[in-house]
Each structure stands twice: as structure tokens, then as C-alpha cells.
Amino acid sequence: MTTMTEASVREFKMPDVGEGLTEAEILKWYVQPGDTVTDGQVVCEVETAKAAVELPIPYDGVVRALHFPEGTTVDVGTSIIAVDVSGGAAPAEETSAEPAAEEPKPEGRQPVLVGYGVATTSTKRRPRKGPEVPVQAASAALQSELNGHGGTVAPAPATPVPAATPVPAAAAPAAAVRERPLAKPPVRKLAKDLGVDLAVIVPTGPDGVITREDVHAAAAPAPAPVAEPAAAPAPVADAALVPAQDTARETRIPVKGVRKATAAAMVGSAFTAPHVTEFVTVDVTRTMKLVEELKEDKEFAGLRVNPLLLISKALLVAIKRNPDINASWDEARQEIVVKHYVNLGIAAATPRGLIVPNIKDAHDKTLPQLAASLGELVATAREGKTSPSAMQAGTVTITNVGVFGVDTGTPILNPGESAILAVGAIKLQPWVHKGKVKPRQVTTLALSFDHRLVDGELGSKVLADVAAILEQPKRLITWA
């Protein structure tokens, strides 16, 4: 592979399109080597742990090479495409799809995407200069390990070798004398998830760096031994231990992108914030009538009006009456941070997984403005075009499980938030109204909150206020 060192070739690196993300998967390339690109043209779509994002190229030129194929997960700061800004055609020997070993240093200010925070250093790792470990020390460690089993090892001559030299499999007990294995953070996390010890992996990457392929190879099950003719058939229980290869009976789905981030966030939230969930069942017949009236109001022409709109407004009014619910916990400073604004999150199910975009400064919006924001939020989420910024800095969240026919649930807090309201299905039920049992539109609300900063009294008041507004929606006027 020929390294591209011409001054006219610019390397575009994978940007951090979120906050502190370390990698992204290339979903689709929109250009190929030889294509002409212009500043601002979208060249690929990538999926991060938060959303799918289209990446525009920040300069004009001709595509020289695509360093990674579609479906590859690339670390932030790694070059993904080379562009000849002089407009020349790419030489034949430089059409390799492998990443360049070295990248030219940017001249002056490197063009970056606004808010993306491209890393300013190369991902190339220099060789480690560590102390040399004599073979004799490794042999001594092995001798000590084998003494308890009656084994003996002849002492080796004290010839120094670099510490990064791979230790043979037979000398695995001496791995303790090796230095910390070289691997990038995403590779270390992959090894941890798969239960693979990095110390026993022989690296194949440049400069002794362990790659993803090395980890997967180490995690792969060993081939089943060939049975001898005279051997008895293996028990059924042992056969069950062999990984099943029948794809008709099982489907394995890689956990990555939004789904992986959601799983990690929910585990972190569940085991960090002490959750409390309270429930209330309420007659929302009057709210449903108001929804039908608003649909006919010219102020809402072209807007989507549904129960979620009035439920959102009811929660905003309840927060205004009980502002301490709108807070977060600062672990570093051991402080409760009360927010004087409401960024209202709406949990949305998408093909890529659950996301929670939020409406910024929802507390300042009129009912028609809130309806417009909700409609835009839902449409953008369904198209998979929600931006990372739309999912940041939320304060409270609503999750509408009723659309799936579910009566209620115990929702888990969105990380960094103090409360989440689950709305159950609205359906006709027998209800005592004005002393008589009548069919009424009824739903169940569930409010989960962080008990470190929200006590039972505050949480109960907020939930009771939401229920009271939905039962008598005229309180939207009297309480606002």
C-alpha cells in the first residue's frame, strides 16, 4: 500500500458527532473513488451511539480513496476518506481500501464540522519504549508455577528481549511479567464484554497493538475434537454445549449504535439513581372531549392534536407549580441542580432503537407551538434524522406506553433527569361519575423519580397535579 503524502491530498477524519463518542459505524457511502466532491456535500452516513448522522466533506476535490467499507465501525479521529483538493485523478496504486499508515499533518487550521470536535492528533501509536525483560526472569516465573505440579524447566540464558515480544502459549503462566497490552479503549471494552483477557492475546496490529479481529479470534470457540472410531457417542448434555449453527432456530443481532447506548444508559440509570414509582388512575373523559374540540380550532390547523399534547402541557403546569421536581444530581459536587427551564423529552421507538429527543424550552411555548414541536419531533424521529443535539440536555421525559395497548409501567429515568411520566392506554371503563357507574375514558399514569432529590411528597404532588388537570382540563387556565 502506498502512503498518500502529497500536499494536495486531504484526509477527512471521523468526527465526534456527539458528546464524547469514541466510534461510529459507516452505514452508507454516497461517493466512490474518482468522484468530484464540493464543500458541504454529504459523503456518507454514519451511526453513532445516539443517532444516524450524515457527514458533509469540508473541502472541494476528487475522492482518492475510501479507507473503510460500509458496515465498519471506525474510531473517532481515524481518517475515513482521502480527497485530492487539486482535482487530480487518483493513481492506480492508491486505490486500496485500507487506511493509510501515516496521515499528512494539516496545514494551518484543519477544517472541521461545526460542533463535531474532530480530534487534532493522529490515531497512529508510536512503539512503546519500555524496560527489557530478560528471558531468565520469564523462565523463573514459569519454573515457580510448575514446581507445584512436579514439572521442571531448564534455566534459559539471560538474553534480554523486548517486553512487547509475544509470549508463546506454553509460557502463558509467565504472562504476568509482560507490560499492559496495547489496545484502544473500544477494543478493551470489546474484550471485557466478551470475557477475553488481553494479556493472553498475540497482537497482529502495527507496533504490537491488539485489534478487534484479535479479540474476536480469541473469543471464538475452539473447534470440536474429532471423535475416534471406538469412542462412545457424546451425551446429549455435552452436545448442547456446542454453539448452535442452525440459523432457522436462532438469530443473533449485534448490539451496537443506538441500541447499545440505550442498554448502557438504562443499566447505569437503574443502578445509580434510586427509583421510586407512583401510580394514579384518572378519568380523562373531559380531556378527550377537549382534544376533539381543538382539532376543529383554526389555531391548530395543520397541526397534530392528540392526548399527548394535553398530557405534555399538564406536566409542564405541574412542574411550574412544583419546580423542585425539575432538577438533576451533581455527584462530583454533591449538589442538587434545580433547572429553571424545561427541556421536555419524548421517548420515541425507532427502527434503530429507543431514543429520547427533547423539546427545548418547552415551558415557554403556547399550546399551538407545543403541538408544532411535538409533530416535528415525532416525524424527525421516525425518519431516523434526529440530531445528537436534540437528545441532549433533557430535564424530564414522557413515555407513552399506551400506544401499544399497555395500561401502565415502571419507567426507568433517562440518565441525568429527575423524573419520567409513563402514560397508559386510554380506554372505556366503568367509573363512578356523579354517584352513578358510567362508562368513562380512563387511563393510568406512572411517575418514576430519583429519590435522592425528590421525596415522596414532592413526587406525589406532581403526579396528583397532572391527574387533576387531565380530569378537569380547565385547570390549564386557572393554574397556569
Active site positions, annotated = 451
What's phi and psi for 165, nearest 5 deg?
-60, 130
